[in-house]
Amino acid sequence: MNSYIKLLPALGMLAISCSSRGTDNTESPMDFASATQVRDLVSEVLEPGGPGCAVAIFKDCKIVFKQGYGLANLDYGLPVTPATVFDIASISKQFTAACVLMLAQRNELSLNDDIRKFVPELPDYGHRIEIRHLLNHTSGIRDWVWLLTLAGIPFENVFTCQDLYKLIYRQKNLAFVPGDEFIYSNSGYNLLALIIERVSGMPLARFASREIFEPLGMKNTLIFDDRRLVIRNRALGYIPDERDGWLMEYYFNPAFVGSSNIHSTVEDLFLWDRNFYDKKVGPPDLAEMMETAGRLNDGGKTDYALGLRVGEYRGLRTAGHDGDWAGSYAYMLRFPEQRFTVVCLANTHTFSPRRLCYRIADLCLAEWHGMELPDQQEPKVDRKPVVVDPSLYNKYTGEYVAENGGKITIRRDKDKLVGRLPGSRAFELLPLSETEFFPDGQNAIVSFLHDEPESVSRIEWRQGQRTIIYHDSPYKFSTFDISGNVDDYAGDYYSEELQVSYRIIKAERGLILNSPIRSRYMMEMTGITGNDPLVPVEKNAFRFAFLQVRFERDKADRVTGFTLIHPYAKLYIEFVRL
C-alpha cells in the first residue's frame, strides 16, 4: 500500500533487546565483519516476546548474512528464521512487472498497447491508457485502497478478484490524464494481473510459478490467490494494542493479486535478486528495463520504474520497494552497480524496515567500499522529569484532533500520564512542568494549553522543526459559520461508483457525516470514525479528517449532491441526493 495513508508522526521505539536469539544460517564463506552491528540495529527496534523480522544481505550473488529475530506466531511462540514465509505485500509488484516483460519479449503484448485491448470492460475515458502507464503508476486509474475504504468494505472482508475488478470498472473518471502525473495505484497492478491471465491463458499465480519461481528454485514462494491455502512456516501479521499486548492483523483475502499477495522468504528473494545478474529467467535486459524510470507527458521523470522505485543513496544508484499490508511490513533495497542488496521482512508495523535497511546498507558501504558511517543518532536532549501533582492529569485526559484528522489520546494511568498516537504503542509523558511534558525516550515536547484556567483546549507537539496542533474539537480549525443553513445539507446521498449511501445529519455543533467506513486500519491511521463532524471551510465546502466535501446546488439554490474529494489521490467521487 501507498505511504500517503500514513499521515501522522509515529513514535520511535525504545532501544530494547530481541525476544529470542536470531537463527544464524549464513552459508557463504565470506567474512561479514559488521554482523554484530546488524544484530544490534535489529535489537533496538524489536520488543521482547513480540513479532519480529528476517534480515538478509546479498553480495556478489552470495548470501553473506541472514538471520531471524522475534516470533513468527505469537499463539505458539514460533521463532522467525530465514526460512519463515512472509507476506511481502507490494514488493510483489516487481514480479508482476517481470511477467509482463516476459510476454512482451514473446511479442504477445506490447508495453505501448492500449489496455482496453485486453480489458474492454473498462470505460472509455477519452484517453489512451497504455500498459506502460499501469507499470509506472501514471495511468490515473483510481486506487482500490481508497475505493474500498470509502465504500465501507473492510479489508478483512472476503471478496473475489472479480468483485475488485467490477469496483474498478464502475469508476467514471480518472484521477488525471494518463501520463500527466504519477500517483501510486494498486489497481493498475491488479489490471496487469488480469492482462497476464488473458494473454497467457493462465492465472498470474500459475504463470509466475512456471516462469519465475520454479526455474529459480524459489520453493517457498507463492501467490496467495486462495484463502484456503496452507502456507508452511508462515508468519502472521501483528499490530500493538493500546497497552503492552498484540493483536493479529492478518487478512486472509485473495483478491489483491498483482499488486500484492506474494508470500516469500529472504532465502527465496536471494534467488530472485541473483537473477538480475545471472539472467536465468526473463529477457536479457530485464534489470535494465525494470530500473528505467517512468516518463511523464511533459518529458519529466518519476522515481518509479517497473515495479521498482529507483533513485540514489550517497551517490550510488538504487532500486528497491517497500511492502506494507495487514501487519506485514517489508523492504528490499538493491545497489545494482555494487551488486549488493539488503532485505528486511517483518510481521509488525512497530518499526520501519526501510530505515533499518538503509542503516544496514551504511554498514556494508563502510566495510566494503570505505565510506564513512553517517551519524544516524538523533541528538539526545538531557531532560529530567519534575514532580507534579498527578491530580492535574485529570483535566488533560481526552482525545485531541489535528487539522488533517490525526489524533492523539491522553489518559491517566494511576500516577502517570499516558499518550497514544494511532498505530503506536502507548507511551508515558514525563513532566517538565505542570503544562509541559516529554514522551519517554523521545526528543519531543508536548504542551497542554488553556483557553480557560480549568480546561485544556489544545495540545502542541513540537519535535525538531515541526509543530503539530491538536484541538479538543475539530471545529476549532474553522471560523466559517453555517448555522443559518444547516437544513440545506441534511439528508441521504448515493454514489453509483461506490454503490453506497452516506447520510448527513444535523448535530448540536453543525453537521455530522454518517458514512459506512469501517476499515479498522484506515480509520485508525486517518482519524476517520464513520460519524465525522463536517467542518465548514467556506460556503458549500466542508472537510472531515483530510477529506473534502463540496456540495452542488441547482438553479433554485437547492443542494442536489456533493463531491467527495481525496486531495492526495485526486479522487473526485460524486454523490447525488436521494
| Domains recognised in the chain with CATH numbers | 3-140+175-369 (3.40.710.10), 390-472 (2.40.128), 482-577 (2.40.128.50)
List CB contacts of 29: < 8 A, sequence separation 6 or more.
Answer: none
Pick the more confident residue, 19 or 47.
47
> CA–CA separation, 156 vs 519, rounded Å?
8
The whole-angstrom separation of Cα 147 and Cα 569 is 11
Q: Retrieve residue 385's grid coordinates.
A: 522529569
Sheet bearing 62-69, strands edge to edge: 23-24, 62-69, 53-59, 340-346, 328-335, 316-325, 309-313
Q: What is the pLDDT of residue 31?
A: 64
pLDDT of residue 19: 35
Q: How confident is the model at residue 376 (pLDDT cuts 50, 70, 90)?
A: low
Record the pTM. Answer: 0.91
Tell me, rounded to whole angstroms, the distance of Cα 525 from its chain centroid.
10
Angle at 508 between CA 504 and CA 510, to 5 degrees: 50
Residue 375 confidence (pLDDT) above 60: yes
User: Over the stretch 384-400, which tens digit does the pLDDT of each residue have?
Assistant: 899 999 999 999 999 99
Query: What pLDDT, in 10s, does the model give residues 136-186?
Result: 999 999 999 999 999 999 888 888 899 999 999 999 999 999 999 999 999
Cell numbers describing residue 303: 522515481
pLDDT exceeds 70 at position 21: no
Helix (H) / strand (E) element for 561: namely strand 559-566
Query: Which amino acid is located at 286 in the chain?
Result: L
What whole-number percentage of the chain has pLDDT above 90?
A: 74
Residue 18 scores a pLDDT above 70: no
**pLDDT for res 509:** 79
Q: What pLDDT is stored for residue 381 in this prediction?
A: 72
Q: What is the mean pLDDT of residues 110-139?
A: 98
* Residue with more model confidence, 521 or 277: 277
H or E element, residue 316: strand 316-325
- The strand pair at 510-514 and 427-431 is best described as unpaired
Is the CA virtual torsion 231, 232, 233, 239 positive or negative? positive
pLDDT band at 525 (very low <50, low <70, confident <90, very high): confident
Taking CB atoms within 8 Å and a gap of at least 24, the contacts of 316-322 are: 316/365, 317/291, 319/290, 319/291, 320/357, 321/90, 321/91, 321/93, 321/94, 322/3, 322/89, 322/90, 322/91, 322/353, 322/354
The confidence score (pLDDT) of residue 6 equals 38
pLDDT confidence of residue 453: 66
Please determine, for residue 204, whether its predicted confidence score (pLDDT) is greater than 60: yes
Identify the band that residue 526 occupies on the pLDDT scale cut at 50, 70 and 90: confident
Which pLDDT tens digit goes with each residue over 229-257?
899 999 999 998 877 799 998 887 778 89
Quote the cell numbers at residue 334: 538493491
Higher pLDDT, 237 or 378: 237
Measured between alpha carbons, how far is 260 from 93 in angstroms, rounded to an integer?
A: 7
| Phi, psi at 467, each rounded to 5° | -125, 130
The pLDDT tens digits for 463-515 are 988 999 999 988 888 877 776 688 899 999 999 999 999 999 998 878 999 99
CB-CB contact of 13 with 425 (8 Å): yes
3-state secondary structure of 470: strand
What pLDDT score was predicted for residue 440?
A: 87
Q: Which H or E run includes 189?
A: helix 186-200
Question: What is the 3-state composition of the chain as percent helix, strand, coil, each rounded to the nearest 5?
Answer: 25, 30, 45
CA gap 418, 415 in Å, rounded: 10
Distant-in-sequence, close-in-space partners of 166: CB < 8 Å, separation ≥ 6: none
- Residue 248 CA, distance from chain mean position: 17
pLDDT at 7 over 80: no
Q: If you average pLDDT over each of 315-329, 366-380, 509-523, which comes out highest?
A: 315-329
> Quick one: average pLDDT of 333-358?
96
Q: What is the mean pLDDT of the chain?
A: 90
Altogether, the residues listed in the chain come to a count of 578
- Rounded CA-CA distance 100/306 in Å is 10
Nearest to 349 by CA among 5, 10, 2, 9: 10
User: How far apart (Å, rounded) are the C-alpha atoms in residues 291 and 308?
Assistant: 7
Among the residue ranges 61-70, 266-275, 453-462, 540-549, the one predicted with the least confidence is 453-462
Per-residue pLDDT band for 26 (boundaries 50, 70, 90) equals: very low
* Secondary structure element (H or E) that encloses residue 62, with its range: strand 62-69
For residue 404, what pLDDT is reported?
87
For residue 423, pLDDT beyond 80: no
